[in-house]
Structure 1
Amino acid sequence: MSPHVASEARDFLAQHPEIDAIDLLISDLNGVLRGKRVSPENLEKAYTQGINLPASVYALDILGNTIEETGLGLDSGDADRVCRPLPGTLMPTPWRRQGRQAQLLMHMQEPDGSGFFAEPRQLLGRQLERLTARGLTPVVAVEMEFYLVDRQRDASGTIQPPCSPATGERASQSQLYSVSELDEYADFLGEVQSAADIQGLPLDTMLKECAPGQFEITLKHGADVLAACDAAVLLKRLIKGVAQNHGFEATFMAKPYGLEAGNGTHVHISLLNEDGDNVFAATDGDPLGTPDLHHAAAGLLTLMPASVALFAPNLNSFRRFQPGLYVPMAPTWGFDNRSVAVRIPSGPNAARRLEHRVAGADANPYLLLAALLAGIDYGLSRELTPPQPITGNAYAQVEPSLTNSWCQALDLLEASEPLRAALGDDFLTVFLANRRAERDLAMQHVSRLETDWYLRQV
């Protein structure tokens, strides 16, 4: 690490003398932030020497248990790797302890200094290199949905929507795009915006989504995909932390309520050539864009069935795939159509782009974007042609074909030669072992519904 980069630590502490602890963070396979907390005296050392964490950080399931089948645990001696700071990610966490804490994203390295093979962020970097080699730069914007949940459970012990800070009444209506509901939660949303400004996270819009206590926040589009995913990961932490300060819990769980809309992650993507021109914008203004846009869309649609395990990474993820709740269930595309999987939004021709609408809010942003860029590269390199775009209700015209089976999704990913080539055998071995072990553990638990339905009847 160069002295110039290490000076980031000294300059930060000089500007923020109130800081008395810094969290050094790694994003694992599930997008869960893990790491160490250090004192200000040790921050510069983290820049110059790094910190050690076991490679098995990338073998952890959602419960924080090491999945030995990944090969990253005891079989490898549970060995350490060096983790080094990502310059530009050192920032205060203003919602923590009156702003006396800070955070810094780290990335794990192999002994030769290259990125650790199982780290999702370096995997995304490899996909970016493929497009860069084609003279293309992705521009992305990420939209994430989340629920605010009352910290007090209902009489049966299950989660429930929050009570309005303004009226005290429990949320019970959809109220999509309601400005009055934004007003009712203005203190919470205002602190989210203020904290994001302090951290330099590029928030764009906030809106009330289509279920009680559900909101969406959009990050501004930008040409640094790695930074966009960093911001998405950090924004989740920010929202959860600010929600706690206001007496709520915030969740990005894909399907917190069985009968309400799920939480999705929508990603907008365009491509710039070396002259900075959007290669998806047709010179004649065609709203369906250029042949390059068609090739990219075709690649996304072709690899979509095998990518579901990355878009829906856990047991709850698949409960989101239900008809009638704006979750695409087949590889479809169309112009300004929210019933399709890949939407071409309306708007200025210069901003022509793809919007991918399949993933849940529980997806790891780095793995999600890695899969999307791999699909785009696959379509461009083979000049694939998409099917006819859908006009009208895609749910009524196309039978569901994307799997809602966790087991089958993992099998489809394992069998996909294009995704294996893009993501690498070593990474897929770790990812599949991790997800299959978590599924096996989930299958050992019997739900309340099963006992209610079957205990006395079969």
Structure 2
Amino acid sequence: MTSPSGSTPGEAQAFLDAHPEIEAFDIVLTDANGVGRGKIIRRHELTGLYQGGRHMPISILGLDITGEDVHETGLIWDSGDGDLRAWPIPGTLVPLHGTSPARGQVLLAMHHLDGAPMSSDPRHALARQVAKLAEKGLHPAGAFELEFFLLANERDTEGKVQPAGAVLDGRRSAKTEVYSVDHLHGMEPLFSDIYAAAKEQGIPAETVISEYAPGQYELTLNYRKDVLRAADDLVMLKRIVRAQARRHGVTACFMAKPIEQYAGSGMHLHVSLLDRDGQNAFTETPGETLSLLLLHALGGLAATMAESMLVFAPHANSWRRFVSQSYAPIAPTWGVNNRSVALRVPAGDAKNRRIEHRPSGVDANPYLVAATVLAGIARGMDDELDPGPETTGNGYEADSGDSAMPADWRAAIEAAKASAFLREALGTDLHNTFCAIKQAEYFRVARTVNELDYHLYLHEV
């Protein structure tokens, strides 16, 4: 059977010929929560994967964050938990850095047995939005930013997580070492391995900075003309950071808000549209301050943000990130060169004009985020939506108008379930799957008795 993903056995054979040392491969399918699920196969099995795909249970796309079945997705016993076929994603067959024995990795996408895309696979949702824009002669380009914490493996005396000591000499800082270059030197061996791994995998990892909290860092990725590949980059880079941190004796944390008194971690998406000639369609013409197409795109993103927040903030912890003056947006505002808004138009040359979409936490699924953002942009262009006045100065004091964000996770779930826009953006099946998974996770959290309950109520009520 010819691979419906476009992968070929020749790609596998060329890789095997170039890497005789590799003995096994991680084959990774990304679920609705952004969790990589799959298997480790032996070297001799790789060619077969490219020739005929790999059977995997349909239920793998109906799991919650703990790996438990969510029966309300309809992907478990309603279908008898039958097998579908996962196929390699072209260009994602790469070596893994520092493994012993040597291993490789390839990302997968799920298809039906006849080759049709499995509609609850998040990557297919993004591919569908890319294809819809292509019908308009537009091609989305972009890149994600990756913020994360490096934490010690041991908790502090109060049982809470704490920033990792430097892997170079164990020195620990409790300061907000934002933009400190000297502070980065203590993590130099770890970041050197991250960059080496990224280079081996063809991932354009660039600048690293010490971010706005103790133990928090950011890695940027270079712009891709293919936003699907940009999302693949983010998935692969997270796996690299997690693996290399573990090898250096620390924990890479991709929770949106791991430490309550400090800023959370975002996953900002920079996005623009290229026309048929490869030129930036968001570039303003002489006499324009900003292009009309860019303004309509901003209008669509602002208008659809409230009902889309479950995609951008999918977990209970995600909602702890949205605190005023914490560099996380709290209203669907936009502005130029302003980090207090949700939709930022960065300063720079007109030929590089783009939107920085800032609501998403680093715990979000990049395929779902990008699919929803592209659908919002398309809505704004189709309906010629006005984004309203630009927010200048302190965006945290701006009036959010009639499009205020949901107050909490439960409200976001209800808004997502009722959203015709999100149903179209993700597709009916994935919309049902995603909302069912989030609803099940909400009930799990709601019925859990935790330490805060005891602290507040044990001796008081």
Q: TM-score range by the shorter chain?
A: over 0.9
Q: State how 1:21-420 maps to structure 2 within 5 Å.
A: 21-97=24-100, 100-284=102-286, 286=288, 288-398=289-399, 401-420=404-423
After superposition, what is the alpha-carbon deviation per residue over 1:380-418, rounded to whole angstroms, capped at 9, x for unaligned?
001111110011001123369312411110111122222
Please tell me whether the aligned partners of residues 96 and 241 of structure 1 are also in contact (alpha carbons under 8 angstroms): no
Consecutive unaligned residues of structure 2, counting only runs of 5 or more, are none
What CA distance in whole angstroms lies between the structure 1 residues aligned with 2:168 and 2:11? 42
DSSP 3-state at the match of 1:89: coil
Gaps of 5+ in 1: none
Write the letter of the residue equivalent to 1:264: G
Kept after mapping to 1: 8 A contact 2:266/2:362: yes
CA distance in structure 1 between the aligned counterparts of 2:7 and 2:150, rounded to whole angstroms? 42
Moved more, 376-385 or 4-13: 4-13
Partner amino acid, structure 2, of 1:278: N
Query: What CA distance in whole angstroms lies between the structure 1 residues aligned with 2:161 and 2:69?
Result: 29
Q: CA deviation at 1:419?
A: 2.1
Q: CA deviation at 1:163?
A: 1.2
Q: For the Cα contact (< 8 Å) 1:19–1:102, is it kept in 2?
A: yes
**SS of equivalent residue, structure 1 residue 177:** coil
| Offset, 1:421 | 2.4
Between 1:420-429 and 1:270-279, the stretch displaced more is 420-429
Q: 1:336 corresponds to which letter in structure 2?
A: N
Structure 2 residue 434 is matched with structure 1 residue 431: yes
Kept in 1: contact 2:167–2:190 (CA 8 A): no
Output the amino acid matched with 2:301.
L
Secondary structure at the counterpart of residue 122 of structure 1: helix
Query: Offset of 1:93 from its aligned partner?
Result: 0.5
**Does the 8 A contact of 1:90 with 1:102 survive in 2?**
yes
Contact 1:95 1:241 (C-alpha < 8 Å) held by counterparts: no
TM-score (norm 2): 0.96
> Is residue 2:450 matched to residue 1:447?
yes
Distance (Å, rounded) in 2 between the aligned partners of 1:336 and 1:312: 24
How many positions carry a matched residue from both structures?
A: 456
Q: Is the 8 A contact 2:140 2:272 kept in 1?
A: yes
2:343 aligned partner, one-letter code: V
Question: Is the CA contact 2:333–2:391 (under 8 Å) kept in the aligned structure 1?
Answer: yes
Farther off after superposition, 115-124 or 397-406: 397-406
> Is 406-415 or 239-248 further displaced after alignment?
406-415
Letter in 2 for 1:191: D
**SS in structure 1 opposite 2:118?**
coil
Query: 2:172 is aligned with what amino acid?
Result: R
Contact 1:285-1:349 at 8 Å conserved across structures:
no
Contact 1:321 1:404 in 2 (8 A): no
Deviation, structure 1 residue 156: 2.8
How many percent of aligned residue pairs carry the same amino acid? Answer: 42
Q: Cα deviation per residue 1:229-278 (whole Å; 9 max; x = unaligned)?
A: 11100110000000011110001100000111101000111111112221
Inter-partner Cα distance in structure 2 for 1:412 and 1:36: 35
**1:420 partner amino acid:** R
The 2-side partners of 1:187 and 1:4 are apart by 35
Report the aligned-residue RMSD: 1.5
Match of 1:9 in 2: 12
Cα distance in 2 for residues equivalent to 1:90 and 1:167: 35
SS in structure 2 at match of 1:376: helix
TM-score (ref. length: structure 1): 0.97
